[in-house]
Structure 1
């Protein structure tokens, strides 16, 4: 091989660069080759040659190198030997022009004939380069879909793990321990199995889609490497990029007759607005309080002066009209922590977080998604300190939202709430 051509070839595919990118270490690769190498390799991504870690992972086409590669294709024998050039049988001249109307390769004399004289023509080299750029545009779109599907697949897998771990345990504990609603558990179990099956099917479909998308990407990449004369005669079919939609699991709200009346016997404070017995703090940007998802929000924080070390207690808060809030119990040390990290010990919260015009329900700590419908009115908080159980209920329909089970409340707990308003 010609050593001079090495500066125009990718060390991963050992072919002329297509869409070349150059890392900070000055090593260059085809962008598709590097993307696939990083996708299948270990993290963090490293240079395939020197194993150095790139300072930035956003890849941009090296325009100068791309231009040099284009010129090298025209002059070098690397891609197409001269003997492979097509000759016109009628005129004995090289076919180096492409008719965009009839899609034929012509010689100079043919393209001036009466049949082709009024048609648009372009050199084979330029036509092939246009095809490559068109293929690369499709590949970028396919790669975005690969990454989108990968994120969805990871989320679906996490949903399945969460579902397997605790999808009905808190229901069983609450129903059996506090209300004896055994007859509802069969319906809850049946619904949970159906949702779990939907998640497994969704995961399977996304896994198949991921393999199909990668196959399409690899095939398009190989087309880009074809010699000019072969490339311009390839007809690519439209790429179907319809993506499997993630399952949004949601357990039904099962009303429990008499639940609120039973809980009210443990009530220690009246329904908010305003915790008269709570200390309050308005958290604004550049001030104390919590971490902010957006500077547009102001957060109202409140926690009780009274701590609980035993027994049962119940209180309610109205979250109507609020999309960002946190309700529950916390220990003294967390309220004194300026960071108020949700993964800290001694934090037992139900959170509603708005993101991308969608409100999702979580519990902390640890931060875990809860697949229930967001409450729109009053939320009840029931603490059984001695049994290590904390439950949240939707007061409007007298149903359970979720529970913390088998907790070890090792320190006094205070009622806590945080609401965000734009």
Structure 2
């Protein structure tokens, strides 16, 4: 008996929690662990994920349940767990048999003869062991769902924290971009400039407060999700009778805690009209003849951007970027001096990129975001929301989505590339204090589902 108990302790227990496996998974090195224990271990450990026993790198993170080991653990559990005391057996007062069947209607235990005398129609009795295992698997399904929410909320929390860390710097740059545009028509709009910058400051404080509240709510939700996850894990390790008694209450808590997940803040600064901006830009308008037009489904700059937005995924979280059909073209003419302005109609496009790039980037099939000599405004759809980015360097732009025409202005000698919302005569963003060392070509890419 001691040998059997020792064998069970070695083969069927997790080395992390030192209890019978629940939802066992096996790594490539051959070591097995409870999936919940492994999730916690990898979440709190250093990257890359390693085996807790032999420290080998775990290359496969989307692990599947080891069904054979789960069956063996179930059989071992019936022999009597070596880490938990057996519940006291109850004897039927009528038939003097052990009560080892559970009634799912009355929620109590019966002996075999009691079950046979009451069995009519739909089966309502099951053995304690099978009922507990059934409930244990249902709890594991809830745990997987809760863990997915933990990872989702953690990713959103990290994003919110990053926004807070860079928010002041972004607002400062945003104000400088606005000031640059206002100085062009300073004598006409001095008072409006002052008013709009004050409004931007007010909006900045309001959005920053929203960030802090969102961060606080996500932090609370993260702690609550982890607490419920821990309680569900502990319940899975309880003796069968205790697990059955607390199953309904814990399953309801596990499901209810997943409701009303806090959503990340989507910051958007107002872009007020700048009087006379588009009229001033139109004096530099040029006709852009497109060259090298083609249609493709592979545009690395968008795939890179989606990877940046997806972030590192935790165990069991899949990310498959949507594929669109893209129209891609460059301007036939390059610019080496002067001021130039052109407009693009982006209405109906789900993803698009416009701006200027150097000749070497047009010849480079990689078209990656971190390339030098590209000055692009990109719009990408993420979770049914459109977001703006500039490249390079890659920076998010927190302004409202532009519908219709987008204007692109290049001041080669002044080192400025600006993007404007033509319909509203407002600024979207600008590249300031650039140093252009090579000819620049207009670039256009538009995507359709």
Given the alignment of the two structures, is residue 372 of structure 1 paired with residue 399 of structure 2, yes or no? yes
Which of 5, 18, 25 pairs up with 1:14? 18
Q: Secondary structure at the match of 1:84?
A: coil
Higher helix residue share:
2
SS in 2 for 1:232: helix
- 1:202 — aligned with what? 214
User: Which residue number in structure 1 is paired with residue 314 of structure 2?
Assistant: none
- Following TM superposition, by how much is the alpha carbon of 1:81 offset from its aligned partner in structure 2, in angstroms? 4.2
Is 1:336 the counterpart of 2:363? The answer is yes
| Corresponding position of 2:270 | 252
Structure 2 partner of 1:317? 344
Which of 164, 169, 180 is matched with 2:168 structurally? 164
Distance 2:220 2:66 in 1: 34
Do residues 236 (structure 1) and 258 (structure 2) align? no
Q: C-alpha distance in 2, partners of 1:335/1:253?
A: 32
For residue 177 of structure 1, the aligned residue among 174, 179, 183 is: 183
**Which among 39, 43, 48 is matched to residue 44 of structure 1?**
48
TM-superposed CA distance for 1:269, in Å, is 0.3
Separation of aligned partners in 2, 1:55 and 1:290: 25
Distance 2:85 2:382 in 1: 57
Deviation at 1:87, TM superposition (A): 4.1
Structure 2 partner of 1:348: 375
Name the stretch that deviates more: 234-243 or 183-192. Answer: 234-243
Unaligned residue ranges in structure 2 (runs of 5+): 187-192, 304-321
Please say if residues 87 and 239 of structure 2, whose CA atoms lie closer than 8 Å, have aligned partners that are also in contact.
Answer: no
Aligned to 2:311: none
Contact 2:182-2:274 at 8 Å conserved across structures: no
Seen in structure 2, the aligned counterparts of structure 1 residues 83 and 357 have a Cα distance that, compared at 3 Å, is closer
Cα shift at 1:79: 4.8
Match of residue 238, structure 2, among 226, 250, 274: 226
Q: Is the 8 A contact 1:94 1:107 kept in 2?
A: yes
Aligned partner of 2:71 among 67, 72, 75: 67
Q: CA deviation at 1:333?
A: 2.1
The yes-or-no answer on 1:396 pairing with 2:399 is no
Contact preservation (8 Å) 1:93, 1:107: yes
Equivalent residue of 2:381, what SS? strand
**TM-score, normalization: structure 1?**
0.89
In the alignment, what sits opposite 1:128?
132
Tell me, yes or no, if the aligned pair for 1:170 and 1:404 is still in contact at 8 Å.
no
Aligned positions, number: 411
Q: CA RMSD in A?
A: 2.5
2:308 maps to none
Distance 1:77 1:256, change over 3 A: closer
